[in-house]
Amino acid sequence: MTASTALLTDRYELTMLDAALRDGTASRRGVFELFGRRLSGGRRFGVVAGQGRLLSMLRDFRFDEDVLRFLRDEEVVSPAAVSYLANYEFSGSITGYREGELYFPGSPLLTVEGTFAEAVVLETIALSVLNYDSAVATAAARMSIAAGDRPLAEMGSRRAQERSAVAAARAAYIAGFSATSNLEAGREWGVPTMGTAAHAWTLLHDTEADAFRAQVDALGPDTTLLVDTYDVPQGVRTAVEVAGPRLGGVRIDSGDLPLVAAEVRAQLDGLGNRDTTITVTSDLDEYAIAALAASPVDSYGVGTSLVTGSGYPTAGLVYKLVARQDAAGGWIPVAKTAPGKGSQGGRKSAFRRIEHGRATAEVVRVSDSFDVAAGAGPDHDDRALEVPYVVEGEIDSAYEGAAGVAAAREHHRRVRDELPVRALALSRSDPAIPTLYIEP
């Protein structure tokens, strides 16, 4: 039996629900919006990820008997609220940006419509998934841009919480990485896996040659040998002596990487191994990868920086009520107005303005209708950004699982080609395109 995800929730969501049941507002319909006020770290674009994971978690968002017992024993909410939660099942609708899509300040990444009671309790789970996955995906996209055509492997599992490691591998693959070292990401989400040996393998054996010979015997000569356990030049010579001209690759995990890579390339070529590739690891981020652009490196492995969002481990997204019914059943927009933390009221529809194949603006149209199906249409060649994920409680399974990940990866590849050239720079700057709000 799958574990319930219902308590991956902040307590105040349930106490608000409890109070709303008491005063009669729980059944009022409302619209919640998940968005970011700004891009973390002065980045020029963001990449949204996590929707497929969130949908799968929404399937398990049920208050089973163990969960209900905890709520009763701890007196988190009233008996009436416990009774309501015993029958909880989200019956509303969720629309949002495609997974892998680019986003900018104010982009309405998810729109959740339902009664206040059923929609308010999704705040924490939606934010915890999309904030982390989007932070990793954004960092991964920047690294992919810096790497150009050279493949990237995600290797950060040992630097993250165990389930976060799986989510990071998934998000990185969507945003341009080629593979992961994490086997659960391969099993659960269809991400290609890779990996050969660590320094412990070399240290286990009496000599480096013994270690290399055993690895080649097990994995074949086209394996990648780790050559920096002791002395790099000697490691390269030993690798070639053991595997011969068919040696697939060598990995370097320490030292001044541009200098060491150049020396290793020259040494391999001099030994006749011109087809042997060079992979570098060692605490890489997008800036280190960019600095290696002119070096004879064939691929990269990235760990710590990737799974921590390259310095920004959250995307800074928020979940706010933007429209609700009043006591008479009429629809009204609502918005927070606190300085620096304001929001734009009303249901939104979002489009990407494309001119000559390049994005020039994020167009957010504010509707004067409460009906989820009545969003404003695009102008000219504007590309619609939202898709229906949940319709009256029915989840679209096309966005889940390995197939959903593959589709998100392909979508990201396509939409990244729309970025203007200025968006590809790694330096801090304003968003690459402006967000234009169009009122009804």
Could you report the per-residue pLDDT of 61-80, keeping only the tens digit for each? 999 999 999 999 999 999 99
Whole-number pLDDT of residue 198: 96
Q: 44-53, 196-205, 275-284, 366-375 — which is least confidently predicted?
A: 366-375
In 57-119, at which residue ranges do the beta strands (DSSP E only) sit? 93-97, 102-103, 110-115
Residue range 309-338: mean pLDDT, rounded? 94
- What domains can you pick out in the chain, each with its CATH number? 11-136+312-434 (3.20.140.10), 152-308 (3.20.20.70)
pLDDT at site 375? 46
pLDDT of amino acid 327: 86
Model confidence over 367-406: pLDDT tens digits?
866 554 444 555 667 999 999 999 999 999 999 999 999 9
Q: What percent of the chain has pLDDT over 70?
A: 97
Contacts of 193 (CB under 8 A, 6+ apart): 179, 180, 181, 182, 183, 185, 186
pLDDT at 381: 74
pLDDT attached to residue 4: 95
Q: Do residues 132 and 124 touch, judged by C-beta distance below 8 A?
A: no
* Average pLDDT of the segment spanning 333-342: 90
> What letter does residue 372 receive in the DSSP assignment?
G
Whole-number Å distance between alpha carbons of 345 and 402: 36
**CA dist., res. 267 & res. 274, Å (int):** 9
What integer is the mean pLDDT of 85-101? 98
Q: Is the pLDDT of residue 16 over 50?
A: yes
Strand bridging mode 224-226 / 249-252: parallel
Residue 33 in 3-state DSSP?
strand
N-term to C-term CA, the chain: 48
Tokens representing residue 247 in the block: 């040696």
Of 94, 116, 125, 119, give the one whose Cα is nearest residue 4: 125
Most distant pair of Cα atoms in the chain: their distance = 83
User: 177-191, pLDDT tens digit by residue?
Assistant: 999 999 999 999 999
- Collect all residues with Cβ–Cβ distance below 8 Å to 353 and sequence separation of at least 6: 359, 360, 361, 362, 363, 380, 381, 382, 433, 436
CB 13 within 8 A of CB 124: yes
Residue 374 confidence (pLDDT)? 42
The answer to whether residues 348 and 111 touch, using CB atoms and an 8 Å cutoff, is yes
Residue 378 confidence (pLDDT): 58
Q: Tell how far CA 99 is from the center of its chain.
A: 9
Write out the H or E segment, with its range, that includes residue 349: strand 348-355
Tell me the residue type at 183: L
pLDDT digits (tens, 9 = 90+) for 251-287: 999 999 999 999 999 999 999 999 999 999 999 999 9
